[in-house]
Chains A and B, each alone.
Chain A
Amino acid sequence: MSEAIPLTPISSYRGIGFDDRMDTVEFRVAERAHIVVDSDICRSCTTKACVTACPANLFAPTSDGGILFNYEQCFECGTCYQVCNSEGALSWTYPDGGYGVVFRQG
């Protein structure tokens, strides 16, 4: 597996660290990943829009041009597949019933 390029601005942006920000949200993590990325397709993608747009910062570019992703702390907003412009690179469904994000004060 290739290594993720660290995204320094995110972890340190004004006050609250990104991990602390995400720790405020309840996630009931399902075994099944509801996001699947085909990194082979991502390698030919020049925009990698998912990387900056995803509000949960789940997508990280790898040194060989692919994408590393994580589905566990997902808001299920749909931003990633809406902005993805590489046909077939990203498949997205809802997590299984009862799993995923639980907003208390949405």
Chain B
Amino acid sequence: MGAGPAGAAAALTAARAGASVVLLERGPFPGSKNVYGGVVYGRVLDEVLPRWWEEVPVQRWVTRRSTMVLTETQALTVDFRTVAWGEAPYNGCTTFRSDFDSWLAGKAVEAGAQLVTSTVATGLIREGGTVVGVRTDRPDGDLRAKVVIAADGVNSFLAKELGLLPSTDAAHLTLGVKEVLSLPREVIDERFGVRGDEGVDVEILGCTRGIPGGGFVYTNKETVSVGVVVSLEHLTAAKVRPEELIADLKAHPAIAPWVRGAEVKEYAAHLIPEGGYDHFPTLHADGLLVAGDAAGMCLAAGIWLEGVNFAIGSGLAAGRAAAAAAQTGADLASYRKDLESTFVLQDHKRLRKAPGLVLSPRVQGQYPGLIADLVEGMFTVTNPTPKPGVVRLLRAAANKHGVKLRHLAVDALAGGRTFR
């Protein structure tokens, strides 16, 4: 259920394993309901679609990855670029989900799955405790199946119907809002220092008025996408309208020169499940598997922000488990074991403390200013007064932002443990 990356990947592996597969999509085409925040990392596709990079509908290959810390008047950027990511087998690309998701669903169709669009799965059909199909909003639209895969996104009403997901969970959701801004290709190349099909992804901390979250800027062929992602709970408490945060970001002295004169081509919003490993739903029930955003698979670990690849990884495993269950009556519990043997659960487990740390008040509210002031102090030449020394500057910056040195030590240790 759902022809996003998780559902399409599941349909692909299940169909290849010889199962009879229907891939249901509520939108008019795959990707029409979907929004993401920057980069699709396609390495996960190597095992099922060799040389996928020759046909994936790419906007730009990301060869430049920046991490930026902002205050209202300052910006500190760690900017990495490599030629390697601009060559096969590549690392990550920017794309439009209408293109990417349609392409991946097309691969499932080539493998034998039947794609049915413009159809909502309105509920589960259950016999005893077992899921045996879904109801749809088509006339006579009941669809019976040996296994249902709920890849129906962050709001997964199918998983909620079984109580696998809480009906509301604002504490572990973020809201992403995004503008796609049109600019001529050569202007993008010039402003971002790239050429050809090279692209840039910038992830930003400290641009959200103290609301836990962050921002992003990434390049497409002839558009630049700019957005912010904020804790739903804290956004609500702050009573700030989400589009104002994008406007703030676009007006920042470090961002404004990139987007000057650009026109909004599309505005979009989507929820993101960012709770991580400790807030995953139960991943399977009798007759049902949960994959992708429905299973909370987005990895929001500060320096690593990934989702589409985790959706695909979980989908591939769900398709395998479903086919085995349909054909040989194998236990669906093999799905979780399969995921535990791959990056999907290993990365999430390793980084289970990251969402909490990254969204903590000090990291969000105090450290951006502290770091920016420290660096400003280091590079401000105070002649004839001699250089003050880094330790003194650090003390002063920490003091100014209300951070005790023992907090710094505690968080450095926590950071070391979280990202070990």
Chain A residues at the B interface, C-beta cutoff of 8 Å? 9-10, 13-16, 18, 20-22, 24-25, 28, 47, 49, 52-53, 55-57, 75-79, 81-84, 93-98, 100-106
B155 CB–A CB distance under 8 Å: yes
B119, B168, B247: the one contacting A82 at CB < 8 Å is B168
B327 CB–A CB distance under 8 Å: no
| Chain B residues, Cβ within 8 Å of A25 | 266-268
| Chain B residues, Cβ within 8 Å of A56 | 269
Q: Known: A97-B137, A104-B98, A106-B96. Contact between A21 and B33, CB under 8 A?
A: no
Q: How far is the CB of A19 from chain B (nearest CB, A)?
A: 11
A53, A101, A102: the one contacting B175 at CB < 8 Å is A53
Once the chains bind, are B244 and A55 in contact (CB under 8 Å)? no
From residue 33 to 70 of chain B, which have CB atoms closer than 8 A to chain A?
33-36
Q: Describe A's contact surface by its main secondary structure.
A: loop
Once the chains bind, are A13 and B247 in contact (CB under 8 Å)? yes
Q: Mark B7-32, 1 if CB is under 8 A from A, else 0.
A: 00000000000000000001110011
A14, A24, A83: the one contacting B236 at CB < 8 Å is A83
| Chain A residues, Cβ within 8 Å of B173 | 82
Which chain A residue shows the least CB distance to B247? A14
Chain B residues at the A interface, C-beta cutoff of 8 Å? 26-28, 31-36, 96-98, 117-120, 122, 136-138, 154-155, 157, 168-170, 173, 175, 177-178, 180, 220, 223, 225, 232-233, 235-236, 239-244, 247, 250-251, 264-271
| Chain B residues, Cβ within 8 Å of A47 | 236
Once the chains bind, are A52 and B239 in contact (CB under 8 Å)? yes
Once the chains bind, are A15 and B177 in contact (CB under 8 Å)? no
| Chain B residues, Cβ within 8 Å of A103 | 31-35, 97-98, 266, 268
A57, A79, A96: the one contacting B232 at CB < 8 Å is A79
B27, B98, B239, B241: the one contacting A13 at CB < 8 Å is B241
Q: Known: A82-B173, A102-B28. Contact between A53 and B232, CB under 8 A?
A: yes
| Chain B residues, Cβ within 8 Å of A96 | 120, 137
| Chain B residues, Cβ within 8 Å of A93 | 122, 157
A95 to B157, CA, bound (A): 13
Q: How far is the CB of A1 from chain B (nearest CB, A)?
A: 25
Once the chains bind, are B32 and A94 in contact (CB under 8 Å)? no
| Chain A residues, Cβ within 8 Å of B31 | 103, 106
A28 to B26, CA, bound (A): 13
Q: Known: A14-B251, A79-B271, A97-B138. Contact between A52 and B236, CB under 8 A?
A: yes
Once the chains bind, are A77 and B264 in contact (CB under 8 Å)? no
| Chain A residues, Cβ within 8 Å of B225 | 105
| Chain A residues, Cβ within 8 Å of B175 | 53, 55, 77, 79
| Chain B residues, Cβ within 8 Å of A81 | 168
Q: How far is the CB of B167 from chain A (nearest CB, A)?
A: 8
A28 to B118, CA, bound (A): 11
| Chain B residues, Cβ within 8 Å of A98 | 26-28, 117-119
Other A-B pairs beyond A9-B244, A100-B33, A106-B96, 18, CB < 8 Å:
A14-B247, A21-B243, A24-B267, A52-B239, A56-B269, A57-B241, A76-B33, A77-B269, A78-B154, A79-B232, A83-B233, A97-B119, A97-B120, A98-B26, A102-B27, A103-B35, A105-B220, A105-B268
A24 to B263, CA, bound (A): 10
Q: How far is the CB of B123 from chain A (nearest CB, A)?
A: 10
| Chain B residues, Cβ within 8 Å of A79 | 175, 232, 269, 271
Once the chains bind, are B26 and A97 in contact (CB under 8 Å)? yes
| Chain A residues, Cβ within 8 Å of B264 | 16, 20-21, 24
